[in-house]
Structures are given as C-alpha cells and as structure tokens.
Amino acid sequence: MSLVEVSRVDFNYSELDEPALKDINLAVEAGEFIAIIGGNGSGKSTLAKLLNVLLLPSAGEIYINGMNTLEEENRLKIRQQIGMVFQNPDNQLVATMVEDDVAFGPENLGIPSHLIRKRVDLALAMVGMSGFQKHAPHKLSGGQKQRVAIAGIIAMEPACIVLDEPTAMLDPLGRKEVMETIHYLNKEKGITIILISHFMEEAALADRVFVMHEGMIYAQGTPVEIFREITALKKIDLDVPVVVELVAGLQKQGIDLIPVLSIDELVKQLC
C-alpha cells in the first residue's frame, strides 16, 4: 500500500457550494517528491488540508499508511505521520526562542525531555540552522523562519511533509534556502515531500507533478512530461519554467534539442 492514497475524493465547503474537489485519485509512495500545481481556486490547499485531517472528505476515502482519515481513532496518529508547513511561517512560530519553537510539537506528543533535546538539535542541523537555538524567531529572515518551521515538523519525525506554498512570501534568497532544505530532506533523509506551489521552477524539481484545475486533476506525469505541454498549461493560466520556453523557442529555430528543465542541462546540450 502507498504511503498516501486518495480514492475518489470530493469535498464541499457547504452543501450550497460547487464542490472544491471532484473525484480526486492519487497515490504517493514513501520517499517520493510530489509537486501539486494549479491556479487560484484549483483546490490545491483544500487537498493539503485533507491529507493532514484538518478537513474530511465529503465523499471518497483517504488512507495515510493504511489508516483511514475518516476514522476518529486514527486522526492523531495520522497528524504525527503527515507534517504541515504553511505559507506564512509567522503563523507556525509560537515561542520566543527557536529551540522552544522546535520543541513545541514533540512536547505535545509526550516525548521525554532528554529525547526532545536531541530531536531539536538534529532537526535544526538538518535545515541548516544549528547555532540558532537561543535566537528570537521574530528577528530571523523570512527564509530562516520557514526553515525553523520545517525543523519543528521534522522534530515530530513524520513520514511525510506537506508544504502549502512555503516560499510564496519569501524573497529569492529565502526561496532558494527553503527549496535546498526540502530537496535535502527528500534525497538525503528519505522524507516524503508533497509540495504545493505556484512557482514552476520549484515543481520542476519533483519526481512527479500533479496539475489541478477547477477542483480536478487535470494532468499528471514527470516534470518533463508536464512542462512540455506549454499550450495546455497556458490554457489554464499556468506558466512553464523559463528554460522550457527557451528550449521551445530554439527548437522553432531549427536547433535539435531534447526537453530539459535546467539551464545547466541546456548549456550542456548547446555545447
């Protein structure tokens, strides 16, 4: 069984509304890096909240490590398995010192204090924030705050982290710091990542991409498969990475290139 299984899921915010999600089916394997992209109102954030049991399906079922989110006795265990990181790190930082903030989750799980100390130090090391234990979160940069928020989730030792637009409020340096952290956690530590983003360059780093539109899954595939469909994506008001547009333009000029997603790969081909 997959780590995350979403089967024929609908979601309505109220009986009168058009469904926010319609017949969603997807599976995520342990260790995968999944990106979910789509325009405003496509249902991305609603799906994220369903995975962490902040919302429950109106129809269909969601299983996390074989546990049904509809069964009340599973919900605390599921929240321990699926960590959530939101768009604004200030909404997740609750303490006056970084180490207390990272310790907050494990303390609520009833982890013994001597183990919490180890988890806090390890989590901060994993996000590149060692030495910041005594710092005040409000004095950190946006990227540093988001990395502390991610450390707080890591300290709870989840199998999967769902990140809902984690770089939307950050400058380019902060975005780079957070994406490097996410990539490290996935590739080096084996943590499953589900990234919701409107930055196509971020989605291009994933193993698979799901495109959402009007509450449904519009397309899915590898980043190369998804982003080569430039016309289809633009039809639903989505962009493609700049390098993809560049490759398409060069191909129209008669230059024989295979689709790539990074400038480095393009440079190698051209050379």
| Six-digit token string for 90 | 């200030």
Question: How do residues 55-102 score in pLDDT, each as one tens digit?
Answer: 999 999 999 999 999 999 999 899 889 999 988 888 888 889 999 999
243 phi, psi to nearest 5 deg: -65, -30
Report if residue 128 sits inside a domain: yes
Of 20-34, 110-124, 231-245, the range with the highest mean pLDDT is 20-34
Q: What is the CATH number for 65?
A: 3.40.50.300
Domain holding 59, by residue range, is: 4-223
Using DSSP's 3-state secondary structure scheme, residue 216 falls into strand
Q: Does 153 fall in a domain?
A: yes
245 part of a folded domain: no
Convert the pLDDT of each residue in 132-187 to its tens digit: 999 999 999 999 999 999 999 999 989 999 999 999 888 898 889 999 999 999 99
Residue 155 domain-assigned (yes or no): yes
104 backbone dihedrals φ, ψ, rounded to 5° = -55, -50
Q: Tell me, yes or no, whether 264 lies in a domain.
A: no
pLDDT of residue 242: 87
Tell me whether residue 250 is in a domain. Answer: no
Work out the pLDDT band at 16, boundaries 50, 70, 90.
low
Number of domains in the chain: 1
Any domain includes 172: yes
Cα 223 to Cα 5, 147, 201, 241, 252: the distances in Å are: 21, 25, 10, 10, 21
Quick one: pLDDT at residue 198?
A: 87
Say if 207 falls within a structural domain. yes
